[in-house]
Structure 1
């Protein structure tokens, strides 16, 4: 009888539903300048990870780091996709990205069409790469949307800072990406903070709350930039990027959050319930 009762108890326990699994929060890790790794639920993406020119202001990408990113050495392994905001030398390396395509046969690349043209001109370009490269050609005020498995990608056409006096013809994209349902991130590259330039995207930005938005640090120190961030981006947390090697004293004193050290991390707030 005792054994029979034990069997009944074991069966009852087995019938109980498994406890709900609380996924680990998504994580963002600094690379250099505007480079960021985002990881969530086994998925991994990179923003602006390799570039050729530091303009004697920003951290260089040492050869060893560039090779690690290109070859997919940890922690740059298992990357699903790489996103490039624009084809400026402090955000983009044609040879570095071509090397990554060659070394990692499954990685996808999302870049402005202008950047694709530069990559095709690289001596190591292969026609076989075309299938894994998405050349984005949406205009300012337009949006291109892609599905990367279960990951939703939105590329919003927003001009580079200084437009229209400078960079008039430069393709520049703000990315908003649902890495998972609970890990939504945004990367602004060098986007203008002019509020009017975000008006065509107002409905899109208001529709879903973003966990972390990565913005050029000078937006955080400018009244107009802060107003645009607070009024438009619909983000839970904001992190400044594109920080010079000599961190501005004004930024240090501001109390704003920013990336300036290779490997520092931030958890991505869960906005699934919002």
Structure 2
């Protein structure tokens, strides 16, 4: 009798086209979001560039690493990856962060500041990799803002005229990762507010409190904020954005979880109840706000 294969072991399915956004629009002085891989996004506003969770190369997980050629272009500051002035990490899990690739980037590019969550340990974190980066930063007195925020407290950092970021802590989804320092970033880009939720948990009331009085233009979220009822509640009742961008989706060749199909089916089922949704699907994909 042939062995039964689990769904995870099945090969990726055939290519699916990138879902088209419904009723999308671009404002004046548009902000561009460009995907490196997974949750890595380059933000461009008024010619200024910020990179969120954009440097990682591990394959020891179910998602996609940044391609070697993209990492090389980032390290060399080659267009469109040139002129990045700020680096941000929501947390230090290996599908969002590489200390080694961060060092490589910093050696080839001049940045204003690196925003780095505190802590070296916890499930899903490569302690030696994080420690190597911290040692490198200390030896060179590199400009770094370490983030260790209590819940219900936010801190705002001006970056340049017309651009600032507000950081606040949220718990990582799954009790296994509750001790991992995890930050959300709310970017104010010339008045357009773009929120990165990273791998946050699904605490609707917490986000409603932290974002009370804030009109979020765009929430950048992973697929579980669409597919999970509690995740949908966070978006629709806690964050209340005008539109949504979904990232953290494996590329076709890596999609053993069949997440691309899940995203397409979930948009068919739940898309009408959401604000307009755009998807970052392939390396280099862009969305303009």
Q: TM-score, normalised by structure 1?
A: 0.80
Of the candidates 220, 234, 237, which is equivalent to residue 240 of structure 2? 234
Alignment match, 2:14: none
User: Deviation at 1:207?
Assistant: 2.3
Q: How does 1:95-244 map to 2 (within 5 A)?
A: 95-114=100-119, 119-122=130-133, 125-127=136-138, 129-150=140-161, 151-162=163-174, 165-181=175-191, 183-201=192-210, 205-244=211-250
Q: 1:38 to 1:189 in 2, by over 3 A?
A: same
Distance in 1, matches of 2:173 and 2:285, equals 26
Name the SS for the 2:287 alignment partner. strand
How many pairs are equivalent? Answer: 241
Name the SS for the 1:37 alignment partner. strand
Distance in 2, matches of 1:94 and 1:153, equals 22
Q: 1:129 to 1:216 in 2, by over 3 A?
A: farther
Q: 1:216 to 1:123 in 2, by over 3 A?
A: closer
8 Å contact kept, 1:119–1:125: no
8 Å contact kept, 2:173–2:201: yes
8 Å contact kept, 2:33–2:41: yes
Q: What whole-Å deviation, never above 9, does each CA across 1:147-175 have from its counterpart, x for those lacking one?
A: 1122211111100001xx21121100110
Distance in 2, matches of 1:222 and 1:41, equals 35
Alignment match, 1:39: 44
Q: How does 1:53-64 map to 2 (within 5 A)?
A: 53-64=58-69
User: Deviation at 1:249?
Assistant: 2.0
The RMSD of aligned alpha carbons is 2.4
Name the SS for the 2:69 alignment partner. helix
Where does structure 2 lack aligned partners over 5 or more consecutive residues? Answer: 1-26, 122-126, 272-277
Alignment match, 1:90: 95
Q: What whole-Å deviation, never above 9, does each CA across 1:65-110 have from its counterpart, x for those lacking one?
A: 1121223211111112111000100000001112222211234211
8 Å contact kept, 2:39–2:247: yes
8 Å contact kept, 1:86–1:173: yes
8 Å contact kept, 1:51–1:91: yes
For CA contacts below 8 A with separation 6 or more, give which structure has more relative contact order. 2
Q: What whole-Å deviation, never above 9, does each CA across 1:123-146 have from its counterpart, x for those lacking one?
A: 981536444111111123321221
Q: TM-score, normalised by structure 2?
A: 0.76
Name the SS for the 2:34 alignment partner. strand
Q: 1:197 to 1:129 in 2, by over 3 A?
A: farther
Distance in 2, matches of 1:235 and 1:123, equals 35
